[in-house]
Amino acid sequence: MIRSDPSLAYQSSNAPLTPTSEVAPTTPPSASEHHLDRIAIVCLAVQHISSSWGYRSAEFAFPLYFAYLFPATLLPASVYGLCLLIASLFFSPSVGRNVDKHKARRLAVVRGFIVAQKLSVACSYGGFCFLFNLGDTAIPEGKRWAAFVALTFVGVLVVLSGTGMTIAVERDWVTTIAKGEERKLTKLNTIIRQIDLISKLLAPLFVSLLTTTTSYRVSAFILLGINCFTSLFEWIWIGTVYKRFTEIGADEQREQSRRASLRAEDAGAQAEGLRARERLRTLRSPEAVYRKGTTKAHALRKDLQAFAALSTFPTSIALALLYTSVLSFDSTFLTYLKQPHPSALPLSSTSNGIVKVAAPGSGGQAVDISYSDAFVSGMRGLCVAMGLLGTIIMPILSRRVGLVRLGSWSLFQEFISLTPTVCALWVGVGLPWNTACLFLGMALSRTGLWTYDLTQLALLQQALYEHPTASLHFGIQQSLINAFDLCHFVLTLVWNKPSEFARPASVSWALIGTAWVVYVGWYARRERGHVLHLEWVGLDSKKGGKDRGNATGGGDRDAGEQRLGEERTAQGDA
């Protein structure tokens, strides 16, 4: 693939600013060149709070509504998630490609995604309101599943518009604002991730408060009203964010100039291409359809080859493997917690937030149990709080040990933390100590998960800084994640009974261990030149000084910057 040469910009940004340097400025750089505009950051944070709150509220509310409308099965939640992921898998690259295509109109693109997301979420809440108005026992089975199909279709639009917002704002805008600098990227990424986690903590608590104090029907109406209000606010406020970050407008002007130059140089070729496409459109023959499909397939193959050639490709594989896990508070796990399933021991009273469900003919003894909305939201809040801790310690640890080593540490921590959780699922729910193992293990694993998520994002953003098709590559990674995410819905489709949930959980646990092996063996070893410090155990004294230097994080960063510079130079030569 032919790429522009960003190596000059990369080298100049790292050249020593001395009086004799050819790239040194004639005047000292201003403070704005080293620091981000605090007011602009606050504006971006407010925008993201509104967007993330609405998305996380829907993410928690929809599984609760599905569990209420389709009791005693995980099938609807699994099919819903599977359909959404399939759509995202096939269309995420197209979303990223459109973001790249319209880089000269960034504000209009983001506003388009806001309208699409808010409108689709409003339609979903409206559909649930319609079903709740019919009554939970009066809904015919055919009408119930017809509504499910409609909600699934609208859910696809919710996911695709959310993917567009993620690529356009969290990837494209953030990378442009930070200009590829590691410290700025880390700061902006951390702020956005912390907002996401706080929203995941507070939004479910708010939804559970609505469902417990009112009803599912009333909660759906209230959430619908909030969604309509925030849609107007976000449409206006995103313009303020755009104006505060002048780097975005400046980059748009450069993009417009570049495209104008390309249009002037290739005017004849473009005219010929337009005439050729017009002839194919007029013919509408099978040959024209075949040519169009072949061209798209060839372009997709080249895009995938370019993505696989990135040095950070193994980190993307490891991240995708994490998404095969059913051990997270997604739609299937939330539905599992809300469905009645056998207790490990007969319960005589409510404990640990467990709600008794008397089995028919049991004489009133509670042999099947489920968890209350308040308890589920509280445990989800605990997991989010631990994930928030990961976003806090990630910048600190990255400066001390480097991004490469931090990635391996965080993956291993997640794998170890989920071991008691899987054991608890095999024993059965209902016991106090078992409930503690189930949720505390998940909570501890969130620290490793979010630490690795931020680490991998920083590695990828550095590799794609000033890359001409960076948004496309972000979209490809999202599709890769969705492809692996499909597996966890397939697992719950195969084992769709609550009593069988330990089996997909065990498979997920094994795949998380595989992610650690892939990262360490394929990426970290290549970047660092080793996996373990042998001199620490007295097996290699010759490399002690060098490895001890790497232990501070400096060795990892130097090696990573050298490899990154070589890769960008190679891209420019190509």
- Return the amino acid letter for 185: L
Look at the alpha carbons of 346, 349, 350, 351 in this order and tell me if their dihedral is positive or negative.
negative
3-state secondary structure 107-119: HHHHHHHHHHHHH
CATH superfamily entry for domain 36-262+284-531: MFS general substrate transporter like domains (1.20.1250.20)
Question: What is residue 28's predicted lDDT score, i.e. its pLDDT?
Answer: 42
Question: What is residue 80's predicted lDDT score, i.e. its pLDDT?
Answer: 85
Question: What is residue 223's predicted lDDT score, i.e. its pLDDT?
Answer: 93
How many CB atoms neighbour CB 238 within 10 A?
A: 21
Question: What is residue 566's predicted lDDT score, i.e. its pLDDT?
Answer: 53
Sites in the chain below the pLDDT cut of 70: 1-34, 72, 135-140, 180, 259, 262-293, 340-370, 429-431, 466, 468, 529-574
Report the distance separating Cα 42 and Cα 122, nearest Å.
27
Q: Residue 329: helix, strand or coil by DSSP?
A: coil
Question: What is residue 21's predicted lDDT score, i.e. its pLDDT?
Answer: 34
Question: What is residue 34's predicted lDDT score, i.e. its pLDDT?
Answer: 52
Alpha helices in 340-431 (DSSP H): 373-401, 403-417, 419-427
- Return the amino acid letter for 128: F
- Per residue in 232-249, pLDDT tens? 998 988 888 888 888 888
Report the distance separating Cα 254 and Cα 247, nearest Å.
11
Question: What is residue 346's predicted lDDT score, i.e. its pLDDT?
Answer: 54
Question: What is residue 541's predicted lDDT score, i.e. its pLDDT?
Answer: 43
402: left (phi over 0), alpha (psi -120 to 50) or beta: left
Question: What is residue 262's predicted lDDT score, i.e. its pLDDT?
Answer: 67
How many CB atoms neighbour CB 239 within 10 A?
A: 13
Report the distance separating Cα 267 and Cα 261, nearest Å.
10
